[in-house]
Structure 1
Amino acid sequence: MLNIENLCCGYGSAMVLHELDLHVNEAEVVALIGPNGAGKTSTLQCIAGHVRARSGSVLFGGKDLGPLPPQKRVLEGIALSPEGRKLFGDMTVRENLVVGGYSRPRQATARNMQRVLDLFPRLSERIDSLGRTLSGGEQQMVAIGRALMAEPKLLLIDELSLGLMPKNVDICYQALRRLREDGIAVLLVEQNLSKALEFSDRAYVLTSGRLAWSGTSEAARSRRDLVESILGHGSAEAQPQEAELAA
């Protein structure tokens, strides 16, 4: 579905990503992991079209996305749930979700919103609440739901569990399992290694903007010493979850 070859991108004169090769198959979940500053977010932003590639190619369904702006990439079937959620704080949950479906026919709005509310029943209770009043977990549900309103074939999620309470992390992963069963592919940036490697089919490890390791998530789980040495810290189980706060 997604095929990236020799991708380089950056900001201004600074090059962030160097000759990255990566692919995602249909209905596959791929984890993108690495330390802060490794280029994970830049990879997602480049796929979504918010950062221009300096060189290399991004193919989606065999089509070169290079010339396409972000809104055209949404139409092709790519949607991003960004790091930090980035909701419209003075808009309601309902309004935030409707914004996510701007690229789809108006008659699809009710159907897609019901799909989101089925995935995240908590949002039905908060549907008329302002985005800024939600907890971090509720905001993450809205951010994922907003992306789903665009009916993506590939869902990009940046830092799903960052700052969330464990129960809300579990709710989000349960929703992703249902999406995978429905045939939606997911490229996931995740700081919780245990969750990322448990849920994904394959994993890529980035360090300093370069691919350091790739393989099946099963292989990564059996070689935790490899992953931990690349990331430079102990196991994910030892990392405490932050207190959940509204952004």
Structure 2
Amino acid sequence: MLEIDRLSCGYGAAVVVHELSMTVNPGEVVALIGPNGAGKTSTLQCIAGHVRAKTGRVSFDGKDVTTLTPQARVREGIALSPEGRKLFGDMTVRENLIVGGYSRPREVSQRNMRRVLDLFPRLEERFESLGRTLSGGEQQMVAIGRALMAEPRLLIIDELSLGLMPKNVDICYAALHRLKQEGMAVLLVEQNLSKALDASDRVYVLDSGNLAWSGTSVQAQANPGLVAAILGHAPAEPAHSTPEVA
């Protein structure tokens, strides 16, 4: 569904991601992991259209979307739940969710609203509460729900568990599992390695903007040096040492 071919991106003259190639298939959860500053968020922002690609290509469902605006990519079926959640603090949960469905007809948005509230029942209880009054876990539920309001086929989540209590992490990952069962493709950036590896089918590791390793989650869990490499305690193995398994 998503194919990235030798993608380089950055800010101004700086290139922070270098010729990255990766794929995400329908119904698959793919984790993009690595140390802080590795280029993970820049990669997600480039896929979503908020950071311009310098070289390479982003294809979605066989269509070149490299130069499309973020709004056009949403209409194509790509939605981002950003790092830090980025809610409108002076808007209610209901209003924040409505914003996410701006690209869909009213009747579709109403259906998607019901879907989000079924996925996160806590949001129905907090429906008319302002975004700034929510707990971190509730805000993350709204951020994911806002992305789902666009009815995406690819959901991109940046730092799902960051700053959340364990109970809310479990709620968000249970929702992720349900979405996967429904056939949605998910690209996930996550610092909680145990959660990321348990939830994902395949893994890409970035180090200083370069692909350092790729393979299945099972391979990652079986590689004793990989976790140390991800945390920056040891150099990651070259990408060619463990072939990616689709």
Which interval holds the TM-score relative to the shorter structure? Answer: over 0.9
Tell me the C-alpha RMSD between the 2 structures: 1.0
Q: Check whether the contact 2:58–2:64 (CA below 8 A) recurs between aligned residues.
A: yes
Structure 1, 123-132 or 104-113: larger mean CA deviation: 104-113
Segments of structure 1 that go 5 or more residues without pairing to the other structure are 235-247
Q: Deviations over 1:77-126 (max 9, x none)?
A: 00000000000000000000000000000111211111000000000100
1:57 matched residue in structure 2: 57
Tell me the TM-score normalised to structure 2 length.
Answer: 0.94
1:177 matched residue in structure 2: 177
- Report the alpha carbon displacement of residue 233 of structure 1 after superposing the two structures with TM: 4.9
The code of the aligned residue for 2:158 comes to D
1:160 matched residue in structure 2: 160
Quote the sequence identity (%): 76
Give the 3-state SS of the residue equivalent to 2:36 in structure 1: coil
The aligned length equals 234
In 2, Cα distance between the equivalents of 1:189 and 1:21?
Answer: 16
Structure 1, 114-123 or 220-229: larger mean CA deviation: 220-229
Tell me the TM-score normalised to structure 1 length.
Answer: 0.93
The code of the aligned residue for 1:57 comes to R
In 2, Cα distance between the equivalents of 1:233 and 1:174?
Answer: 31
In 1, Cα distance between the equivalents of 2:87 and 2:146?
Answer: 9
Give 1:215-226 correspondences, 5 Å limit. 215-226=215-226
1:48 matched residue in structure 2: 48
Q: Check whether the contact 2:33–2:230 (CA below 8 A) recurs between aligned residues.
A: no
- Report the alpha carbon displacement of residue 49 of structure 1 after superposing the two structures with TM: 0.2
1:146 matched residue in structure 2: 146
1:126 matched residue in structure 2: 126
In 2, Cα distance between the equivalents of 1:199 and 1:228?
Answer: 20
Q: Deviations over 1:132-157 (max 9, x none)?
A: 00000000000000000000000000
Q: Deviations over 1:5-48 (max 9, x none)?
A: 11000101111000001100001000000011100000000000
The code of the aligned residue for 1:196 comes to A
Give 1:163-242 correspondences, 5 Å limit. 163-233=163-233
In 1, Cα distance between the equivalents of 2:107 and 2:32?
Answer: 35
In 1, Cα distance between the equivalents of 2:159 and 2:106?
Answer: 30
Matched, 1:36 2:20: no
In 1, Cα distance between the equivalents of 2:110 and 2:231?
Answer: 43
Segments of structure 2 that go 5 or more residues without pairing to the other structure are 235-246
Give the 3-state SS of the residue equivalent to 2:225 in structure 1: helix
Q: Check whether the contact 2:10–2:54 (CA below 8 A) recurs between aligned residues.
A: yes
Matched, 1:102 2:102: yes
- Report the alpha carbon displacement of residue 227 of structure 1 after superposing the two structures with TM: 3.0
